Amino acid sequence: MVSKVLIANRGEIALRIQRACREIGVQTVAAHSTADADAMHVRLADESVCIGPPPASQSYLNIPALITACEISGADAIHPGYGFLSENAGFAQIVEEHGLTFIGPTAEHIRLMGDKITAKETMRRLGVPCVPGSEGGVATLEEARRIAGDMGYPVLVKAASGGGGRGMKVARSAEEIDTAFGAARSEAKAAFGDDTVYLEKYLGRPRHIEVQVFGDGAGVAVHLGERDCSLQRRHQKVLEEAPSPVIDAETRARIGGVCAEAVAQMNYRGAGTIEFLYEDGEFFFIEMNTRLQVEHPVTEAIFGIDLVREQLRVASGLGLSVTQADLKVNGHAIEARINAESLPNFAPSPGQITAYHAPGGLGVRMDSGIYAGYAIPPYYDSLIGKLIVHAADRETALARLDRALSELVVVGVETTGPLFTQLLAEPDVRSGDYTIHWLEKWLAR
Ligand code: ADP
């Protein structure tokens, strides 16, 4: 087993990783910016190393500082969490070149899936159904017009290097393709330094359904069913649940089997998520994330498995602790993302938390690094916690989420907590009848 893990992240996920390590006796080193010196995971880690000033470019994205922190502390592995350097192939490569273990897939697989064009090509070849679209990148406006015309509007122009919903523009008709193509390219160039774009059929009313996979890096892989992340704002997930209210056991086994087989064929190592849009009973691959996802706890709840522990095992060469036959869905889980944001505009609301009470009780998990007196720094993502509930069935899980939300107290900053209480009163949410556009329409009502 790896013996000392440097956690190259912050917030709730850093604490999540620290907890998994502690339970199996692996030492931890919290690598933190000066803004995070008081963070809970820094307090709880065995050691901590300051890696730079508040801006992420000088701390959490500072590769030389992270490698040096490993050398100073004697850490033999790095867990990148999600975001920051987690899907940076160059980082994974440098980590391994320094004789350290990168807790994640190989640099080659991160690179392959990080480019959405090569990701789609690979998945298509491995028998995974994809969204119809251009074969590869689209370099000129003429080509974009021709392909969109042949495919039929609406179309979506997407950045090959895209992420976080950026570099994505819809063209609803031929009049809109010029603007969409130009805007997607310049947004992609500004955000990712790469203006390569491709075209996809724009699906009108899909759900976002993603399959959790896990590979041992040597040809064995399993799937852990799906998560439904259809409630989104600006292409960002707001609430996630597992299993999906619209996927039955047979469909789960079928699409899960396709995904597990694909990653087994690739000799994929570690945790991954294969994302699909799902419409009229059909799955369409959009991208693969080569890391742990924010919403992984809903999968952990229904399968009774610790995915970070599994990552540590696989990174240590111990293989998976489970086989497909061991993995059985048990009940229903829902996650609400608690952001330090003020409603209704979702404006960031950093600042000092003067009082905090976390919900608890049967089937309630609150993953958060906040505490009374903690000051949320303004430099990073606004996610401050994830409230996850698990119950025997969906209806009970909804009631449990409502109950847990009523117990949550965060004073001093505004949070998105009240949004979920309102959502839970909506008949469509209660019945699970929503597409990826439902939340935006509801917010604009
Ligand atoms: P990112 O990497 O930026 O998150 P994704 O490819 O994962 O981009 O897409 C994010 C979200 O954008 C999806 O969950 C969905 O809501 C929307 N989306 C992506 N592709 C399509 C498409 N072809 N049709 C309709 N919506 C799409």
Atom of ligand 1 nearest to the CA of 204: 25
Q: CA-to-CA distance for 195 and 138, rounded, in angstroms?
A: 10
From 201, 217, 239, the end of a domain falls on 201
Residues with CB under 6 A from ligand 1: 131, 156, 162-165, 200-203, 206, 208, 232, 235, 275, 277, 286-287, 436
Q: Is the N-terminal amide bond of 350 cis, ω within 30° of 0?
A: no
Domain match, 400 and 277 both: yes
Question: What's the N-to-C CA distance of the chain in angstroms?
Answer: 53
How many separate domains does the chain show?
A: 3
Question: How many whole angstroms from 82 Cα to the centroid of ligand 1?
Answer: 18
Domain match, 229 and 181 both: no
**Per the domain annotation, does 117 fall within a domain?**
no
Q: What is the pLDDT of residue 219?
A: 97
Domain match, 394 and 437 both: yes
Look-up: residue for tokens 């998105």?
416
Q: Is 134 exposed, middle or buried (0-12, 13-18, 19+ CB in 10 A)?
A: buried
Residue pLDDT, tens place only, 320-330: 999 999 999 99
Host H or E run for residue 259:
helix 249-266
Domain match, 427 and 326 both: yes
Domain match, 141 and 225 both: no
Tell me how far apart the 2 most distant CA atoms of the chain are, in Å. Answer: 61
Q: CA-to-CA distance for 157 and 184, rounded, in angstroms?
A: 6
Domain match, 214 and 137 both: no
Atom of ligand 1 nearest to the CA of 232: 16
Q: For the chain, give the percent of residues with pLDDT over 90.
A: 98
Look-up: residue for tokens 């992340």?
229
Average confidence (pLDDT) over 182-211? 96
Domain match, 51 and 157 both: no
From 169, 184, 201, the end of a domain falls on 201
Domain match, 353 and 275 both: yes
Range of the domain at 283: 207-444
Strands (E), 122-254: 155-159, 168-171, 197-201, 207-216, 221-233, 236-242
Three-state secondary structure call for residue 36: helix
**Per the domain annotation, does 120 fall within a domain?**
no
Nearest alpha carbon to residue 440 among 230, 167, 287, 157: 230
Q: What is the pLDDT of residue 329?
A: 98
| Residue environment code for 98-107, b if the CB has 16+ CB neighbours within 10 A, otherwise e | eebbbbbbbb
Q: What is the mean pLDDT of the chain?
A: 97
* DSSP tag of 130: B
Residue pLDDT, tens place only, 3-46: 999 999 999 999 999 999 999 999 999 999 999 999 999 999 99
Task: Please report, for the domain that includes residue 75, its CATH number.
Answer: 3.40.50.20
Residue 437: CB partners within 8 Å, gap ≥ 6?
A: 205
**Per the domain annotation, does 127 fall within a domain?**
no
Average confidence (pLDDT) over 303-311? 98
What DSSP assignment string belongs to 80-95? --SSTTTT-HHHHHHH
**Per the domain annotation, does 118 fall within a domain?**
no
pTM of the model: 0.96
Three-state secondary structure call for residue 65: helix
Residue 234 appears among annotated catalytic residues: no
Q: CA-to-CA distance for 93 and 375, rounded, in angstroms?
A: 35
**Per the domain annotation, does 246 fall within a domain?**
yes
Domain match, 234 and 382 both: yes
Three-state secondary structure call for residue 107: helix
Task: Please report, for the domain that includes residue 224, its CATH number.
Answer: 3.30.470.20
Q: Which residues pair with 347 in a beta bridge?
A: 342
Task: Please report, for the domain that includes residue 138, its CATH number.
Answer: 3.30.1490.20
- Band (165; pLDDT cuts 50, 70, 90): confident
Q: For the chain, give the percent of residues with pLDDT over 70.
A: 100
Domain match, 241 and 358 both: yes
- Band (164; pLDDT cuts 50, 70, 90): confident
Question: How many whole angstroms from 285 Cα to the centroid of ligand 1?
Answer: 10
Q: What is the pLDDT of residue 89?
A: 98
Domain match, 347 and 231 both: yes
| 381 close to 359: Cβ distance less than 8 angstroms | no
**Per the domain annotation, does 230 fall within a domain?**
yes
From 103, 124, 158, the end of a domain falls on 103
Q: Which residues pair with 388 in a beta bridge?
A: 335, 365
Average confidence (pLDDT) over 239-246? 98
**Per the domain annotation, does 126 fall within a domain?**
no
Average confidence (pLDDT) over 197-219? 97
**Per the domain annotation, does 291 fall within a domain?**
yes
Q: Which of 10, 207, 252, 291 is catalytic?
A: 291
Domain match, 139 and 216 both: no
